[in-house]
Chains A and B, each alone.
Chain A
């Protein structure tokens, strides 16, 4: 093969519409092994690329000698910072991260040099042969000391501070509870490693086939680093093996293009799992202090909080993460007064950025622990306390913004809490904490149950002009949709076909490959936004095509266009007089090219006030856990969830999002933490960084999908990807607290936190 081919996604034979469990159009290639992931790309002239990374979390680079590496047999290029022709740095919000480190390295694993060679073994030998003379310096690893320490970057150590103040600042409650909580660094742990293939083009540009969440923003950053016009850098989405936020930032994109342009050969690069742990941002570790004020009846009066997130060495999306953490710090409750300070700082720890839930996961752990603490102080049922304070449409958030869309929080909570539990006590050793390999004594196993409620914003906030673009072409009765939305596994390709069929009444829907070369930006596959934004763009493009076509057909037949409908591959009049095969009226194609924007938002002011968000989604989880207190082992027995979804577009995919998101929440609750010691990751492997297996995951019972159509969203559907990861962790941790009577301030809960408590 000489040309890289990314296949079109064809419709399946059956053609379900909106609200039905349409099968994935990429399902068959994914089960027969023929689907091309970014690590499967191949070109018969291709070289292999590799990256030399800093072994130090903080060091000055005195010199780099590439000579010995160039001499390795099979090596075609060894490049350093001096070979970056354009911007030396990139970044999602600030261009503060070097493409290749020049004189300073700020985290362990920072790229220093890149190599292209004809075999990965030659790449490895060349990387080992590069001589870098480092002068190691003392790393800044305590986020609490960041602001008072010497800056480790010209932009300073404070990435962003938001001091939100809302309502009467002198309010003091009759009942006051206070707590401090800590959340560890979570890894997205997608399975498909960072990988891609760059092919130099004859026009001096480059074609990059890559797994990403946002093609166009990558394109702009890569082009700036290469010193090329954006149109000379063409990105096409290759198969994405999961993302969860870890593909929002550039990783090997610019490196691949530099090597391809330098060698004039296609270059492929694939990170190892260890390299992947160093090669993408993680979920921010958090330290959180909270004080909740309530009256004796349990009405929340005021919340104070101090949130400190460790952003690591570079800014990435930290500024937006801390905004979410701050805005949603107190949870989906009606609270008239608040003082929330959110701070994210720079350290020499691994860079942190986006991960599913984006700031709301950490604070949900804090605010829900506080609600349980308050319930205990009031001697009130935790569900009753929450029910008394839940937000509803028309209520004000801590930012002063009034919720104008749907907010069925009470229904979410009530349906989850009332759902019967199927969890029986089991004495099968495989079902006990620790499973078959451990020796949990059933006599010493305690069961705990708890509920948690969470929420976050959908779509981008703070005045960002967020949009998606889509092209629709209807020809010979076949609809072709072109949209640069990154399909990362969530099932947008299924929804795009369902939406198209729904609007145009066709079965045959072709989705062309997502690429910067064929269509405008679709925005990011993040913030639970693509169903709404790219779904909205596809819907709008199809509607425009429908209007154009029906106007034409109506004129030809002398009828009112409002009398015409498109269904089952035909154009028909409501009265029944007209019934035409769609293919026969679309021999001349009908096309539309639309840009879909959501309602504008405002920045936050100096008090953290403003109509900064578009829409919100809410979820509840109830967890039942068994805990062996002697061994400190936890078995999550059952999760039950309800979620505010607006409208279900595809029930099967919705279930998949709820179950999958909950699994990542379970992982954060009981096992997932990137261990960073003195700035160094100690568990960069699936041997040492544990993610839930089928034996760790409980059944996820879906109590209710609350369908209250959201104004402005396509078919009323809210994004559903993130909420499952938000309240699940908090629920599991609360259930462990219920089983153990321990405070358990650190998440994930470690065996020693239980077994050695009080020791």
Chain B
């Protein structure tokens, strides 16, 4: 029941995927075949957002995408959010704002927030509270009640617009 070997482009690198079973999700292949377990598996049915990755810049639940369907496209995971080894703005903001507790929802949330801020940076607009809540409403967090996450998004949005924040010196 193995599929033909295929190549996935993840975080700028080509990965050979030999011997995969038919029907393996992108989440599964990332986690179990490519050694990229940063994307999480809280529900594996598209409800919690913990597996969120970007495909060609678009936010998707990797548990709902067949791995083979991502061939020829650019997949970005949490491991690739800050490719130079430094933390990305959203990652720094989450740590500083106390948006991380158990951390299981964190990678998916970071991908969702990064996608939101990318979209907004196109027109330079400032996200209002409801826009942010809507944008992360597909990502369940059971620890924080979202308060510190919203604060982190606000900090990251300021950084991305180039406004320095004294609390993130």
Question: Could you list which residues of chain A lie within 8 angstroms of chain B, going by C-beta atoms?
Answer: 21, 23-24, 26-28, 30-37, 39-40, 42, 119, 121, 188-193, 239-244, 270, 272-273, 428, 430-431, 488-491, 652-653, 655-656, 659-664, 685-687, 691-695, 697, 699-700
Contact = CB atoms under 8 A, between A and B. Distances in A.
Interface in B124-169: 130, 132-134, 136-150
B98 A660 contact: no
B98 A653 contact: yes
Contacts, number: 185
Contacts of B106: 30-31
B40 A191 contact: yes
A548 to B, nearest CB: 35
A191 B140 contact: yes
Contact of A655 (B41, B43, B104, B147): B147
B54 interface: no
A663 B95 contact: no
Contacts of A243: 102
A121 B20 CA distance: 11
B10 to A, nearest CB: 12
Interface string B24-54: 0000000110011111111111011010000
Nearest to A21: B98
Which of A23, A39, A694 has the largest number of chain B CB atoms within 10 A? A694
Contacts of A21: 98
Which of B41, B110, B145 has the largest number of chain A CB atoms within 10 A? B145
Contacts of B105: 191
Given A32-B78, A32-B79, A192-B102, A40 B145 contact: no
B41 A39 contact: yes
Interface residues of B, number: 58
B101 A695 contact: no
Contacts of A241: 40, 42, 102-104
A663 B77 CA distance: 28
Contact of B102 (A23, A28, A488, A695): A488
Given A37-B104, A190-B102, A695-B137, A28 B41 contact: no
B140 A686 contact: yes
16 contacts: A30-B100, A30-B106, A31-B94, A32-B91, A34-B38, A40-B37, A489-B143, A659-B145, A659-B148, A661-B145, A685-B47, A687-B47, A693-B136, A693-B138, A694-B150, A697-B147
B145 A32 contact: no
A660 B94 contact: no
A490 B95 CA distance: 14
A121 B21 contact: yes
Contacts of A660: 101, 142-145
A37 B40 contact: yes
Which of A431, A489, A653, A699 has the largest number of chain B CB atoms within 10 A? A489
A473 B92 CA distance: 31
A273 B42 contact: yes
B47 A655 contact: no
Contacts of B91: 28, 31-32
Contact of B77 (A33, A491, A686, A699): A33
B47 A430 contact: no
Nearest to B23: A121
Contact of B79 (A27, A33, A121, A700): A33
Contact of B45 (A270, A273, A428, A700): A273
Contacts of B71: none
B148 A656 contact: yes
B82 interface: yes
Nearest to B41: A39
